Structure 1
């Protein structure tokens, strides 16, 4: 078992590292690099970026809030479309808004599940793809962290633009009903996922050959509804 995997099992060590100053942290990294069998300086960069395979998913820091990041990104999209209201920019901004929503839904769910054993158990027991999996007892004996890693793997590979499925995951793992706050919000967001698919994978054409045109009004409407749903979700999660 590598040192990285061992450290990931002790959150209080990671918290202490986060509180270190930049200079102290860099000194520690340089000292570790001289002593540990890391392959290259690139591996240290992967560790700092949180991308190393030995780490179970964690937010970049305890101060990272998916909802704040999403809302800030929405403000940036609004600013961009006001400054550059071209046809190509409206398409890019529309795609970005759906991406912002997808990233928020995934990061928020992983943050709430992977640090709570009961929620991990709910996911493994009730999610239809996971509950039918069978593993050998020696797998758990050799790797007690396997259930957490499997949950992490599953959540990391989930496509969160499948909004009905995502709503279901929040329900079975957290017991939270994050359903759309209004019929208008539901219709707008479900349509946006389909439009995003055509914009990304069909160069802006539908399966029947119709060319999509995205207006600045649609951008604002989508931004409002993404923001509305995120706010609604946060209010729901606050009651957990």
Structure 2
């Protein structure tokens, strides 16, 4: 069966995608997530029960017709382009109608006449009526006759589909974009143009909304993993009575911080091309590598693997390097007032892990429950501030219009 995304202009379906999201001329900043009742779905697309009050989360790209026109014209799809496609495609359609008249023995003379002296403005006026009255062409339904011959022809296709027609209506054009521009021309400039990608998101066919979903949460997804680890440590700390367990819990607080820092930088760098580039351009090891132009494509093929390995090899308890990395790649600042406390805790963690709980002078390192709790509070405060900045930077800006 699959899942579908539907592109509508002023509520009228103009294109659709199956198991794939084509965002056409929409940008990331045009996305929205909101709740609606199932009964509020577009009735030209869905067969729905008017009394269905069940709520669903919707994933939508939305702009107005004025904005769509601007973006289409910047891409070369102005009304002159629509006129050229209209004339060229009208001639092709006449040839097809004449061919099938002979092949099938059917009379398409009236349709040929409509196209013979076709005037774009006349067809745009009919297109406006079709959009306003929501007349639809649907090969799976019985045709509905219309008094106006042009409207009737546009809505009710012949017994064959025009070979080069990209749209469901019989409107002479070669490209989806020309049809979008024609429809945008006949609706109000403030009319809503949207892609409803709800089915694709819920069906797992696209991750285009992942950053927006995460952005609207109180924290990032990786922060959730950090928070769970901290809560587990707190739970064990309640019954921690011997030094060995207290030391392990103390060390694990630092480990939880390192995991958050490592996972966050890795997810963002490998998931966002702009940040991957910033990492590559700021990494000293990569700067020092010598390469030939003949190797450029191999390097491009391997770059994510190389960067992933470099991140895995990074010691995130090295605070000075970690602070520099986060600043240069994610533009995130660490709260400096807590760094000395964390640096001391990292040194103590080193004693716990590598010296069996003894200091460099050979003394036993005593860790109390209060020490663990205090470190948790400090680390959590730092990660809270870092995560806020990471979350605020999740939504990449689109290119200027």
TM-score by length of 2: 0.43
| Pairing 1:141–2:141 present | no
CA offset at residue 76 of structure 1? 0.8
Establish whether residue 108 from structure 1 lines up as the match of residue 261 from structure 2. no
Cα deviation 1:55-88 (Å, max 9, x = unaligned): xxxxxxx9x8221111111111011010233211
Larger relative contact order (Cα-Cα within 8 Å, sequence gap ≥ 6): 1
Encode CA deviations 1:13-50: one digit per residue, 9 max, x unaligned.
xx99x949xxxxxxxxxxxxxxxxxxxxxxxxxxxxxx
Structure-1 separation of matches of 2:352 and 2:294: 47
- Does the 8 Å CA contact 2:240/2:369 hold for their aligned counterparts? no
In structure 1, C-alpha distance between the alignment counterparts of 2:300 and 2:354, rounded to whole Å: 41
Q: CA deviation at 1:157?
A: 1.1
Partner of 1:7: none
The answer to whether residue 361 in structure 2 is matched with residue 208 in structure 1 is yes
- 1:88-124 per-position Cα deviation (integer Å, ceiling 9, x unaligned): 1101101111110100000011111111122111111
**Superposed displacement of residue 211, structure 1:** 1.7
Q: Point out where structure 1 has 5 or more consecutive residues left out of the alignment.
A: 1-11, 21-61
Residue of structure 2 in register with 1:198 after alignment:
351
Aligned length: 184
For the residues of structure 2 that align with 1:157 and 1:136, how far apart are their CA atoms? 25
Tell me the secondary structure at the aligned position of residue 145 of structure 1. helix
Aligned to 1:76: 232
Contact 2:251 2:349 in 1 (8 A): yes
- Partners of 1:144 and 1:124 lie apart in 2 by 11
The structure carrying a bigger strand percent of its residues is 2
Instruction: Please report the RMSD computed on the Cα atoms of aligned residues, expressed in angstroms.
Output: 2.6
Where structure 2 has 5 or more consecutive residues not aligned to the other structure, the ranges are 1-20, 22-199, 206-213, 215-219, 394-401
Following superposition, the deviation at residue 143 of structure 1 comes to 5.3
Q: Name the larger-Rg structure.
A: 2
User: Secondary structure of the equivalent of 1:88?
Assistant: helix
Give, in whole Å, the separation in 2 of the partners of 1:169 and 1:120.
12
- Following the alignment from structure 1 to structure 2, what is the Cα–Cα distance between the partners of residues 134 and 92? 43
When you count helix as a share of all residues, which structure comes out higher? 1
Alignment of structure 1 residues 176-191 onto 2, 5 Å: 176-177=332-333, 179-180=334-335, 183=337, 185-191=338-344
Decide whether aligned partners of structure 1 residues 153 and 138 sit closer, same or farther in structure 2, where only a CA change above 3 A counts: farther
2-structure distance, mates of 1:192, 1:161: 10
Do structure 1's residue 166 and structure 2's residue 322 form an aligned pair?
A: yes
Q: Which residue is 1:232 aligned to? A: 385
Match of 1:125 in 2: 281
Question: 1:44 — aligned with what?
Answer: none
Structure 1 residue 149 displacement after superposition: 2.0
Shift of residue 140, structure 1, vs aligned partner: 2.8
- Map of 2:248 onto structure 1: 92
Q: Kindly state the Cα deviation for residue 155 of structure 1 after the two structures are TM-superposed.
A: 0.8
**Separation in 1, partners of 2:226, 2:254:** 11
Q: Give the distance between the partners of 2:230 and 2:341, measured in 1 at CA.
A: 16
Describe the shift of the 1:138–1:85 C-alpha distance in structure 2 as closer, same or farther (beyond 3 A): farther
Helix, strand or coil: the match of 2:289? Answer: coil
Contact 1:139 1:146 in 2 (8 A): no
The structure-2 alpha-carbon separation of the partners of 1:165 and 1:143, relative to structure 1 and needing over 3 Å to count, comes to closer
The separation in 2 between residues aligned to 1:220 and 1:120, in whole angstroms, is 36
What's the TM-score once normalised by structure 1's chain length? 0.69
